């Protein structure tokens, strides 16, 4: 896993993933916050960005999914509260982390392949 990326011009640290509210796909290049140089991204950088994007999306999707499972299926009250409390933690947190790690690399390769054809 990529632990850091630096600008070629000024050696300033580049962001490894988008901000919390940023749901853009991995970019081909990133602007350096220090000097404004347009730095091309390498495959491990884009994979890390894709993993963070998938994790954020899966974590957000786990909340309404756990509510739907708790309310639509026949459970007793204690089990429903348990699903509502632990659903996002287990499904979105742990499951999201595992799925984002599993799918980050293949989805980045698919995205790069489509980007080259376009």
Percent of the chain with pLDDT over 90: 39
**Would you call 34 helix, strand, or coil by DSSP?**
coil
- Structural domain includes residue 98: yes
Q: Answer whether residue 92 is part of any domain.
A: yes
Question: pLDDT tens digits, residue range 17-70?
Answer: 888 888 888 888 888 888 888 888 888 889 999 999 999 999 999 999 999 998
Do 83 and 71 form a contact (C-beta atoms < 8 A)?
A: no
Number of domains in the chain: 1
Asked, for residue 37, whether it belongs to a domain, the answer is: no
- Which pLDDT band holds residue 118 (cuts at 50, 70, 90)? low
| Inside any domain, residue 35 | no
Which pTM value belongs to this model? 0.81
More confident call, 116 vs 84: 84
Structural domain range at position 101: 42-117
Give the separation between CA 112 and CA 86, rounded to whole angstroms: 36
Task: Determine, yes or no, domain membership for 12.
Answer: no
């Amino acid at each position: 896993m990529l632990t850091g990326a630096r600008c070629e011009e000024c050696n300033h640290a580049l962001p490894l993933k988008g901000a919390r509210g940023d749901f853009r796909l991995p970019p081909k290049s990133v602007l350096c916050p220090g000097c404004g140089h347009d730095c091309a991204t390498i495959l491990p950088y884009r994979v890390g960005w894709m993993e963070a994007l998938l994790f954020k999306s899966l974590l957000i999707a786990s909340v309404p999914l756990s509510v739907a499972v708790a309310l639509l299926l026949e459970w007793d009250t204690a089990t429903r509260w348990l699903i509502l409390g632990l659903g996002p933690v287990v499904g979105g947190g742990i499951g999201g982390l595992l799925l984002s790690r599993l799918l980050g690399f293949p989805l980045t390769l698919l995205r790069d392949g489509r980007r080259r054809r376009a």
